[in-house]
Amino acid sequence: MKFFVDTADIHEIEELAATGLIDGVTTNPSLIAKSGKEFVPLIKDICKIVNGPVSAEVAATDFETMRKEAEVLRNIANNVTIKVPLTPAGLKLCKLLSHDDTKVNVTLCFSAAQAILAAKAGAAFVSPFVGRLDDISMNGMQLIEDIVKIYKNYPAYKTEVLVASIRSPMHITQAAKMGAQVITAPPSVIQQLFKHPLTDQGLAAFVEDWNKSGQTILKD
């Protein structure tokens, strides 16, 4: 399973990239606005930190302007993935860019029918938003199960399921059980994955016992 980090905060990306466990980055217009940084140079900097796909989203909603924006974004670096909304114009652009070997992440997916359209448009990734579905009392993870199952029925679809809008480690383990290829999560949720109280307790006991033994591994 690939792990993407869902942030435009360069320090958080650097910190997580240093673990060697981060395969890519996703951003969106809200995260860019929150960063307070200029979009294009910021994406350029992120692309230097992480070798894998970095999703940069078009801001316009009409096809012609989206197309021009995508042109600017894909020239930033080889690892930029163009993120487009799941609208008729977004899917039309997805089809065009995918045909041209540019990776596209179709975002704001909330139904299995929309995910089928994204696959037909040649998307490299489809991003179903599980947390936002849970927020309105729907079952976000059920959508992931449905999409994974549907895509398996059509091996010609090359689209990877990128589970987005993740709120907790539980979303990630469930997504892994279902066979989703990628998750994108905020840094705080990725940090939670490392944690278990028994790990902390066990380590404290090992350190204490080791210190009592008076031994050292490194001899100068």
Q: Which residues are catalytic?
A: 83
Quick one: the chain helix, strand, coil %, rounded to 5?
50, 15, 30
Q: CA torsion angle for 195, 196, 198, 200 (degrees, to 10)?
A: 20
Under the binding rule (CB under 6 A), the answer on residue 159 touching ligand E4P is no
Surface-to-core class of residue 29, CB atoms within 10 Å of its CB (0-12 exposed, 13-18 middle, 19+ buried): middle
Residue 199's identity, in one-letter code, is T
Applying CB under 6 A, the site for ligand E4P has a residue count of 11
Q: How far apart are CA 152 and CA 81, in angstroms?
A: 23
Nearer CB in complex with ligand E4P: 26/102:
26
Stretch that binds ligand E4P, among 110-118, 129-137, 153-161, 206-214 (CB under 6 A): 129-137
In whole angstroms, how close is the CB of 164 to ligand E4P at the nearest point? Answer: 3
Cβ pair 55, 24 in contact under 8 A? yes
Residue 92's identity, in one-letter code, is K
CB neighbours of residue 177 within 10 Å: 11
Under the binding rule (CB under 6 A), the answer on residue 9 touching ligand E4P is no
**28, 81, 159, 174: which one binds ligand E4P (CB under 6 A):** 28
In whole angstroms, how close is the CB of 55 to ligand E4P at the nearest point? Answer: 6
CA atoms within 13 A on the CB side of 140: 25
Cβ pair 125, 159 in contact under 8 A? yes
Closest CA to 25 of 57, 58, 56, 54: 54
Under the binding rule (CB under 6 A), the answer on residue 29 touching ligand E4P is no
Q: Binders of ligand E4P among 60-119, rule CB under 6 A?
A: 107
- Cβ within 8 Å of residue 88, ≥6 positions away: none
Under the binding rule (CB under 6 A), the answer on residue 126 touching ligand E4P is no
**3, 17, 26, 106: which one binds ligand E4P (CB under 6 A):** 26
Under the binding rule (CB under 6 A), the answer on residue 127 touching ligand E4P is yes
**98, 102, 174, 184: which one binds ligand E4P (CB under 6 A):** 184
Stretch that binds ligand E4P, among 69-77, 86-94, 124-132, 151-159 (CB under 6 A): 124-132
| Footprint of ligand E4P (CB under 6 A) | 6, 26, 28, 107, 127, 129, 131-132, 164-165, 184
